[in-house]
Amino acid sequence: MSIIKAPHLFNEQSLFVDLEGVLGRRLYLKIEGFNFAGSIKLKPAREMVERAEQEGRVGPGSVLVESSSGNLGVALSMIAASKGYSFVCVIDPRCNPATRQLMESLGAQVDLVTEPDPVDGFLGSRLHHVQRLCASDDRYVWLNQYTSPGNWGAHYRWTAPEIDAQFPELDVLFVGAGTTGTLMGCARYFREHRPDVRIVAVDAAGSVSFGGAPATRLIPGLGMSVRPPQLDESFVDDVVLVEELDTVRACHRLAGRGFLLGGSSGTVVHGAMTWLADHHAQDATAVAVSPDLGRPYLDTIYQPDWVLDHFGAEALAGSDGTAGPGRRSAPGAEPRPREAAPATDRVAAAAPRSASQ
């Protein structure tokens, strides 16, 4: 029996799903969404806040501030409420409506930037807003997930050892890449303790993290419009890029078997299955990290009209080409053309790479 006095002190650490019966290939999925924040972002949120407290940067009267696409904002909203801090989360229009409502329900102030910076895009607008807040009042403290060692340190401390303890014969680990905190924390741990384990990063197509061409992305979570300051590719053995159409279809396939997972999880699962098939690794012991659950995506990934509008009937079809359970098919419908992405965001300008070392 677990008895806790603060919400961030509970997190299910050892739940894995064997997806062989769902996907036809052995893959163990580490479920990270069973905590009061609903995602893996609880870990870096807790680590960053506690480090800031220990360093004396955060204390009574502090106002925490962060730029977030969603899940980290929810985790920080919960921790701030528990500890008695104010919290301002700066988001852009890609944040799921349900995620924004969660943050506001926890007492956070949510600032929405509606116009992309002409050079740095939406991420640039969010960072500029954060900087203006911090310059206006010394009570504001930017935790800065993009450079904070607490981001990757949380996964070095918790996530990777949890996987290592359950899978002593692990061959390959699949980790989604956003700010690359989870990726770098796990990669550093296994490089030191199990260097034989292959680390495969799974990123969204349209992300520039690994040198790809920038493109507009609709699903928040994975992917960056700039090379993440914390990324060190020497720790990564391979990279898989996943189109958002494949993310949506992977989520629907999993939901069709009762596993309602988030967009980042669908991306990682599709990327892992692609890599395993390409490498004929049917006998490999493979684990993928599932960062989030599906409820915040009910208005997007799991909303048929939203999916049809943005991706067309193909996204609503089952893996055999038929309409998926509970989803209408509209033969001949075409997805809306995607607009060109804004110029590459420059996180590094606001968050120097040296701060991440």
Q: What does the pLDDT look like over 76-114, one tens digit per residue? A: 999 999 999 999 999 998 888 889 999 999 999 999 999
* Element of type H or E holding 351: none
Dist. CA 320–CA 48, nearest whole Å: 45
Assign 166 to helix, strand or coil.
helix
Q: Into which CATH architecture does domain 42-148 fall?
A: 3-Layer(aba) Sandwich (3.40)
Per-residue buried b or exposed e for 158-185, using 16+ beta carbons within 10 Å of the residue's own CB: bbbebbbeebeebebbbbbbbbbbbbbb
Render pLDDT for 245-275 as a digit per residue (tens, 0 to 9). 999 999 999 999 999 999 999 999 999 999 9
Q: Structure pTM? A: 0.86
Strands 238-242 and 198-204: parallel
Q: Which of 149, 185, 171 is nearest to 32 (CA)?
A: 185
CA angle 92, 138, 146 (to 5 degrees): 40
* Element of type H or E holding 265: helix 263-278
pLDDT at 321 over 50: no
Residue 202 identity? V
Dist. CA 41–CA 204, nearest whole Å: 18
Dist. CA 307–CA 235, nearest whole Å: 35
- Per-residue pLDDT band at 122 (split at 50, 70, 90): confident
- Per-residue pLDDT band at 318 (split at 50, 70, 90): low
Q: What is the mean pLDDT of residues 106-131?
A: 87
Across 113-117, 120-124, 176-180, 222-226, least confident range: 120-124
With beta carbons less than 8 A apart as the criterion, state whether 63 and 86 touch.
Answer: yes
Give me the pLDDT at residue 81, please: 97
Render pLDDT for 272-289 as a digit per residue (tens, 0 to 9). 999 999 999 989 999 999
C-alpha Rg value of the chain to the nearest Å: 19
- Bridge partners, residue 168, by sequence: none
* Residue 220 CB neighbours (<10 A): 25
Q: What is the mean pLDDT of residues 13-25?
A: 94
- Average pLDDT of the residues of the chain: 87
What residues contact residue 337 under an 8 Å CB cut-off, 6+ apart?
none
Measured between alpha carbons, how far is residue 311 from residues 123, 187, 307, 317 in Å? 24, 33, 6, 11
With beta carbons less than 8 A apart as the criterion, state whether 348 and 144 touch.
Answer: no
Instruction: Give the class (CATH, top level) of 7-34+149-315.
Output: alpha beta
What residues contact residue 250 under an 8 Å CB cut-off, 6+ apart?
266, 267, 269, 270, 273
Percent residues over pLDDT 90 in the chain: 73
The alpha carbon of 225 is separated from its chain's Cα centroid by a whole number of angstroms, namely: 14
CA angle 177, 181, 184 (to 5 degrees): 85
Residues of the chain with CATH 3.40.50.1100: 7-34+149-315, 42-148
Render pLDDT for 219-238 as a digit per residue (tens, 0 to 9). 888 888 788 999 999 999 99
